[in-house]
Amino acid sequence: MKIKKDDTVVVLSGKYAGQKGRVLKVNKEKELVTVEGVNEVLRHVRRSQRNMQGGRLSKLMPVPAGKVMFVCQKCQKPTRVGIKFDEKGNKVRFCKKCQAVIE
């Protein structure tokens, strides 16, 4: 998976289509990403030592990685991510549209 934590992505389909957000968490085994402000649900929680109040808590749920697309910082467009080697022989990610190296 070429999407990493703190990347900016745009949601391609579903209820939140078109929304941009920062990736907070990546689950590579299940290919899920948690995006800031996307797929927020309410969980009903019983009172406990950890949560004295109880009630409804807002929680971010992950979305499939195939439903989001990386947004390039240089050209500000949704794009695919490629991998190439730099002069030193290190792997780097790059934008397929503008060929800019992703930091």
The DSSP secondary structure of 48-62, one letter per residue, reads -SS-SS-EEEEEE--
Asked if residue 72 lies in contact with residue 86, where contact means CB atoms within 8 angstroms, the answer is: no
**DSSP code at position 66:** G
The whole model's pTM is what?
0.82
pLDDT, mean over the chain:
93
CATH pick for 1-71 out of 1.10.1040.10, 3.40.50.300, 2.30.30.30, 3.40.50.720: 2.30.30.30
What's the CA gap between 4 and 18, in Å, rounded? 19
Residue 78 scores a pLDDT above 90: yes
pLDDT of residue 37: 93
User: Cα separation of 22 and 34, whole Å?
Assistant: 9
Q: Are 6 and 33 in contact (CB under 8 A)?
A: no
User: Would you list the domain boundaries of the chain?
Assistant: 1-71, 74-103
| Contact between residue 70 and residue 91 where contact means Cβ atoms under 8 Å apart | no
- Proportion of the chain above pLDDT 90, given as a percent: 89
Sign of the C-alpha dihedral, residues 23, 62, 21, 53? negative
